[in-house]
Structure 1
């Protein structure tokens, strides 16, 4: 397929500022059919083309053709029908990122069902809320611990008729139940579905209250993935000598991972699943699979960068790494300027320096991503100009994006032919966005959901204004060319007692990129000045302790160690250089333990639960404001 031409956004200017941008769709709107058709269309058009890879016992990967996947989807769909599930019934999936997750998703759709993801790390209370609210009739879980947890809740879930466990052969059990059914029953169920049919309820992470079920249709996902595939053609189309492939390790219970899984099958990109994010598990999987692109969040790229620097420091080459990092950043910035017509690109000296450090540094960075990775699609929170430029210079192009569960994932993305580092790009084709008078980002498009599920009435509550705009709750700004920057959450906006308004996200994102810092929460609402709670990154801290010969210090002793605090103060000073004096962090405290999902301080998608943190660390916060 020939690369598409980049479509410039249409801009509306008010009072000398760009207030609205829109980009026409690159893909036609799907008028008939559903996501359930994708495996069967692939099997009809390219039956022997590899579309999935499954890891086998010896650690290698075994390809699965489009024909083989369609046969497994058909067999499982027949079983779901045989076990009494009716069109429109909700089927929940609570598991890590595995082949069985994707298989069940498409089989459920082929049977006319609505799938409901549940994070595998959810507590019993969280899982119960989602299963109750969605009125799920069936649920797949991954292992015996999840089975026990939900079995204990069955008295609170009278509508849950089936509870199946992947690790004990649930797929085979379901397939066996449907062996005698004719294939035509699945075809009939698929024929009842259209773009307007509900595909899934995806529950929000619940940072500010109980999770709400976002009702997304098959048409929402088609509008999202079809336009994303056309926009990001270097990623999804690959090169003739090296077909596109990706190893998915982010949770399929999150809309971001789900969208990419659907997009890969839609574009027939070879897809693998990695259930563990632990470094000792993920790095071997990346090396053996060798993907051409990855889906990530800033945390992953920050960790790769920080690990690379820590390794160099351990080898006595920290200064060399830092010089190489600066070269990569300059190179990435020169490439960006050239693509915007502001310069001639990297000069001879910069290219020569990059070539030198490619062997010393950048190749190791690429190796950590599997060796062949050329692109990373990054979302969840801003990556920042510094790291985006570094990875571009290191030979890995990062496409940043921004979106919500309510928009079926990305609503903006970095345009391939015209990136602007440090922004989240232009609207995905087929999307319009506007900045409201108070700075809130508003969105329109076929990928935007219809509303939230209302369990009490069994209906969908619309969530758009009178003109069809979706209020996101995020604050942002458009530059003169229509690139969007996200500056924070509307509900997170801090107003000091002196009346200064500030968004904490830029300071938090900058500090989180430091090798010693895991998480940062900026505080200052109704306070005289801005402060912060800081937690420490385990890998970076372990390296720092070795270098400073402080392995014997306890976590509490490290939190007040003078040498460590001086290093952290340098990081805070760098972050403060980005903002005005009134917005700068005056004091900070180091917490002896990190924020975790188990403690209720992080959502499953790694977002801070601000209210819970402020409540649980009220004593530490009080020390930052002595009377």
Structure 2
């Protein structure tokens, strides 16, 4: 019997992820459900469409091979790779066997990888490139290795009894044809069964593995009708599937609806823009940093227009912003602004075209705060960004703005089924079907620390709920700075004041147990070098550039101007300009570009100490 005929025989109860996914893709057997580059070797730089039939065939053959390797309900299947088609197929193949998928961030170090593999008990690991393969192979070759098999998504010439390439795995799975067994397993997978083990780097410490069930992820389906997601949408997935945001918002949501998804293997903005031109997505889910880069590059392009054209475009942006702000605050739009806004509609369409977003109908942002300037810019040109809030532990969405009532500066109100409340300490507490049961190997005592007596998850985030029931995030509980004078300060609130400062890429406020606040600043080197050229500042290295007295004076002036609006104890008294960027790879940022403050404090301890005389440090 033909494989697809066999799959179609299966009853698909709406209670687990692979059942929903297979049922969805069976409706699109001849239509593209994925697009990916590097599939067609003759045209590696072009997106190749993959139909529902082709994808299900790949998925079932991977599952058939894994079944023969002994993968069963509860087994951990690790994926250490950048996004690709086989990654997506492996996720659903492993879940079809009742296994637990463990997506691993693609650039972690070998020691971190080994810690995760040992903690999870993972025996089978898929790897995506040579660097990931070398790390996996080094662990596989250890005497007491947790690994039993390594599978590469590329053609590896290395010979090893426990190594197999994806091409050979697919042939092996097809030869074994364990399809009937797979069809028997899928209906037995229940909502309370674990679906994924996602290790989060955290912002204050080492990784912890969050166990998420099929029911946790399926609870997120409530957003599908809220935003009218259909198979007519086209998604561009560039967030790593190793992060719960990309895993759920892109991979799973596309599977639920059957919407085709173009897979971008990189987070490089230039590559993403090129992919946008080719794919013309209707839905984009990303992090604020990507919107910021697009906003800045668009403004710089407009500034190079001839005077008349520049005036028209800038006016359209300002008037659109004014109208959108009024609408967001629930105020009446000034009549004059409303008329001008309509007249300049063609200009706003041109701006969207300039950004390659003429087909986009929905933009989503999460993982970090969205700067208000960026939110008002996009809303003003007719592309309001829908901001939401969630965590790895909540699968992830808990609250989200609505199309009909989008309030920049907030992360919206709870999705159906979610409950939130604010503790006496200001912490956001969460309950609902999206909340996990706990971390891997967590003791009852540890569980009692992260859940309240009445079952609410302690998020660790600080927030307030406004009069409309919309949540506003104000900081992290563990990020609070307590000065030597006893002042409690949320650094994020201060850092937000610098969001619209073009010369600053990142600013991290420090000063716990100190007399005053200081800051580590990563300049926007593109603009700073431009400033240096225009003002005749000579330098050989970025280190020389940031140390130049004129540059120091420039930043001091801007910092003082911005800090004037703050109370004295929240003002930044000293700062250090760093000569390099923060990054995920170098450890300062999480995959969604939040600060890993404990790592920053440790890495830059000597630099921070230089901003304080010894006597300023409060002794314990």
Q: Answer whether TM exceeds 0.5 for this pair.
A: yes
- Cα 1:569/1:488, change in 2 over 3 Å: same
Q: 2:114 aligns with which of 128, 141, 154?
A: 128
Q: 1:231 aligns with which of 209, 226, 234?
A: 226
Q: 2:321 aligns with which of 304, 317, 329?
A: 329
Paired residues of 1:105 and 1:115 also in contact (CA < 8 A) = yes
Counterpart CA distance in 1 for 2:574 and 2:354 is 39
Counterpart CA distance in 1 for 2:405 and 2:561 is 29
For the pair 1:284 / 2:279, whether they are aligned, the reply is no
Deviation at 1:246, TM superposition (A): 1.1
Deviation at 1:332, TM superposition (A): 1.6
Deviation at 1:610, TM superposition (A): 1.6
CA offsets 1:185-210 (integer angstroms, 9 cap, x no match): 11112122111110010011133222
- Cα 1:528/1:355, change in 2 over 3 Å: farther
Counterpart CA distance in 1 for 2:279 and 2:77 is 31
- Cα 1:88/1:488, change in 2 over 3 Å: same
**Relative contact order higher in (CA < 8 Å, ≥ 6 apart):** 1
Counterpart CA distance in 1 for 2:590 and 2:112 is 11
CA-atom RMSD in angstroms? 2.7
CA offsets 1:569-602 (integer angstroms, 9 cap, x no match): 4543464355333222233221112223343322
Paired residues of 2:368 and 2:592 also in contact (CA < 8 A) = no
Paired residues of 1:88 and 1:113 also in contact (CA < 8 A) = yes
Aligned partner of residue 363 in structure 2, secondary structure: strand
Counterpart CA distance in 2 for 1:67 and 1:578 is 60
Q: 1:66 aligns with which of 30, 43, 52?
A: 52
Counterpart CA distance in 1 for 2:287 and 2:416 is 22
1:33 alignment partner in structure 2: 15
Which is worse superposed, 516-525 or 305-314? 305-314
- Cα 1:438/1:244, change in 2 over 3 Å: same
Deviation at 1:248, TM superposition (A): 0.7
Deviation at 1:461, TM superposition (A): 8.6
Q: 1:295 aligns with which of 262, 285, 300?
A: 285
Deviation at 1:247, TM superposition (A): 0.4
Counterpart CA distance in 1 for 2:97 and 2:486 is 56
Counterpart CA distance in 2 for 1:553 and 1:365 is 39
For the pair 1:534 / 2:530, whether they are aligned, the reply is no
1:185 alignment partner in structure 2: 181
Q: 2:65 aligns with which of 79, 82, 91?
A: 79
2:5 alignment partner in structure 1: none
For the pair 1:200 / 2:187, whether they are aligned, the reply is no
Deviation at 1:393, TM superposition (A): 0.6
Paired residues of 2:390 and 2:396 also in contact (CA < 8 A) = yes
- How do 1:458-473 residues align onto structure 2 when only pairs under 5 Å count? 463-473=450-460
Counterpart CA distance in 2 for 1:75 and 1:397 is 42
Paired residues of 1:374 and 1:397 also in contact (CA < 8 A) = no
Counterpart CA distance in 1 for 2:334 and 2:470 is 23
CA offsets 1:485-516 (integer angstroms, 9 cap, x no match): 10110000011122221111122234244322
- How do 1:482-493 residues align onto structure 2 when only pairs under 5 Å count? 482-493=469-480
- TM-score normalised over the length of structure 2: 0.88
1:308 alignment partner in structure 2: 298
Aligned partner of residue 167 in structure 1, secondary structure: coil
2:161 alignment partner in structure 1: none
1:19 alignment partner in structure 2: none
Deviation at 1:51, TM superposition (A): 2.3
- Cα 1:388/1:308, change in 2 over 3 Å: same
1:7 alignment partner in structure 2: none
Paired residues of 2:73 and 2:99 also in contact (CA < 8 A) = yes
Which is worse superposed, 199-208 or 503-512? 503-512
Paired residues of 2:13 and 2:19 also in contact (CA < 8 A) = no
Counterpart CA distance in 1 for 2:342 and 2:489 is 38
- TM-score normalised over the length of structure 1: 0.87
Counterpart CA distance in 1 for 2:25 and 2:243 is 27
Aligned partner of residue 272 in structure 2, secondary structure: helix
2:6 alignment partner in structure 1: none
Aligned partner of residue 80 in structure 1, secondary structure: helix
Paired residues of 1:521 and 1:532 also in contact (CA < 8 A) = yes
For the pair 1:220 / 2:216, whether they are aligned, the reply is yes
Deviation at 1:326, TM superposition (A): 3.0
For the pair 1:479 / 2:466, whether they are aligned, the reply is yes
Counterpart CA distance in 1 for 2:414 and 2:13 is 22
- How do 1:167-566 residues align onto structure 2 when only pairs under 5 Å count? 167-168=154-155, 170-179=165-174, 180-224=176-220, 226-233=221-228, 236-237=229-230, 243-260=232-249, 261-313=251-303, 323-337=315-329, 340=330, 342-343=331-332, 345=333, 347-353=335-341, 355-356=343-344, 359=347, 363-364=350-351, 366-454=353-441, 463-550=450-537, 552-566=539-553
Deviation at 1:607, TM superposition (A): 2.4
Paired residues of 1:288 and 1:370 also in contact (CA < 8 A) = no
- Cα 1:165/1:320, change in 2 over 3 Å: same
Counterpart CA distance in 2 for 1:36 and 1:460 is 29
Counterpart CA distance in 2 for 1:157 and 1:249 is 36
CA offsets 1:453-489 (integer angstroms, 9 cap, x no match): 11899x9999422201000000001111111110110
- Cα 1:384/1:578, change in 2 over 3 Å: farther
Paired residues of 1:354 and 1:393 also in contact (CA < 8 A) = no
Deviation at 1:223, TM superposition (A): 0.2
1:25 alignment partner in structure 2: none
Paired residues of 1:453 and 1:460 also in contact (CA < 8 A) = no
- Cα 1:307/1:435, change in 2 over 3 Å: same
Aligned partner of residue 318 in structure 2, secondary structure: helix
Deviation at 1:44, TM superposition (A): 3.8
1:611 alignment partner in structure 2: 598
Aligned partner of residue 568 in structure 1, secondary structure: helix
Q: How many residues align?
A: 585
Counterpart CA distance in 1 for 2:612 and 2:71 is 58
Paired residues of 1:42 and 1:67 also in contact (CA < 8 A) = no
Deviation at 1:128, TM superposition (A): 0.8
Deviation at 1:363, TM superposition (A): 3.2
